[in-house]
Chains A and B, each alone.
Chain A
Amino acid sequence: MEKTVSSAFISAETIQKQLHELWVCLGQQKSAVLRACAMTLIVVDRGQEEGTGEIYDILAALMRNHPSRAIVLHLTPSTQEAIQARVFAQCRLPLGQSRQICCEQIEITSDVSRLPEAVTIVLGSMAPDLPVVLWCRSFDLLDVTGFRDLANVVDKIITDSGRHSEPQIAFRRLLTLRRGQGVVADLAWTRLTPWREAVAQVFAMRACATSSPHISQVRIWHGGPKASTAAYYLAAWLINCLGWKPGESGELAMLPIEIAAPGEVMGLEAVSPEMTITVRQQSISELNIRVNGVQYHVRLPASPHAEALSEEMSILGADLVYDRSLERVVELLRP
């Protein structure tokens, strides 16, 4: 079910009116529908990022865990064309039920020069009294003036430094944003959850827990010639957990695997005199963990982007582990 609004005078009111009409239409359908909304998710996309076309697939996957009013703001290169909007509902019929569950989506297309105007439409279209999460697909937008008006009113900003060519700059920007904005998440960090979870499980073993103060070497393998933000995050988190003090304690090595895809973390190894703990990405779907002669596997998410976003949308408060890791990584990269 879809309503397209396209005029020189698009406003939040016209969108609200179209939304209302959409629900009236849905209500007249033969099968019952239930409107589900637990938050507003604003997606800002410049059409330059990889996987722009996947946004709606990701949103569809997210709606299962986080039914939201999704507002997708597509920013196009400057053409001076009118802002366009369309509203539609994404519905699904849960297995064995007769009632469809529908989430509303608003798509706004605007050229980048009209960002401040588009932002006012977004601000007026948010679902009232519910949390607002902003998923900013373009890291560079974080510094754009019009964008800041939007960033200032949301409860959480989710971005992704994974492809940033200069990790040092990305981390500083994130730190600044986090200090000024509050809750900021980086999907490059979120995608490490299965890695960190696997390591945490290893250190739940008595023998590993006992040997952790004696770990003197940490090696992290990353894809491509330069370490990605994810690789640095993992390193910072590990040495925080091991209690290494800046400038002392053990030896940290970041090792490239040039044939692997840039940005990926490929493996880690923690070495103490008593044991070696190894976690390697065996395939895109699996981690292989070896410790103390035991080998086991951890499944990686089938849709890492959607699952990472879903994870972040579940956490609306402070994340101290991330905060500490971000501060540590900035410290690590300080010249």
Chain B
Amino acid sequence: MLKKALYTLPITLAVASAFAAQAPEDVLDRLVTKSGNSAYLTQSPQNRMMMPDNPAFLVADDGEKLFKEKRGPKNASLEECDFGEGPGVLKGAYVELPRYFPDTGKVMDLESRLVHCMKTLQGFTNDDAPIKKRHGSDSDMMKLQTYIAIQSNGMPWNPPLSHPLERAMRDAGEVMFYRRAGKMDFACSTCHAATGLRIRASVLPNKDVPEEWTKAISWPAFRVGQDHVRSTQHRLLECLWQMRFPNIKPGSDASIALISFWTDAARGQPAILPDMKR
């Protein structure tokens, strides 16, 4: 057995190096070139250098174990979970979310679909820690999301818009993106509708520059300043916090409408998964 493993080592290495061409840092490098060295994409040389050692890979490894482990009151793994490409198919599933799922009648993002499977397949409830704890590298939710998402690294965002509800949610998300509200009259577009703008020292991504926007929406990402892997829903929450908006419910239709719109805005651009951000 060991001998056989040794024989296949060169092949394994060859495959690994072929995959290295698709490493997240390489996806980003190509976007940097294509964008003419976008100030947003190039703002942190340190982060770009650290990407091969992204702590998110370890979080994803934990996620793989959790995904395949029989857990919960129903003692089942998540290997039968359908993220839109069929039960258990993870490759390319994330870049085609959010999407409409006939079994729930809802447009769902990665997090809400994962929660759905943890409930239906494994029997967890909202009060159980694996579902309740949404944030932090040590949470089941982030481990699982990171594992699932990185199966789509380098693949183009392609959320389906064939179902009327997918289009309705995307279009409502667009209205929400430009809708000014809150104590300071902010909309998403206050910060994300022009190129090269900064809040203090942070360069902001422009929703209308797809090469920038794909990095902006490439979550899970390891946030160096927070020392945690963070999700799409967490990014939304932090934006809303800075905008002086009230709390948003994770997996709510309001959150998914915005995510539908912003994923559509990156359509065709390769996802950087896992990413590393400030």
Q: Report whether chain A binds chain B.
A: no
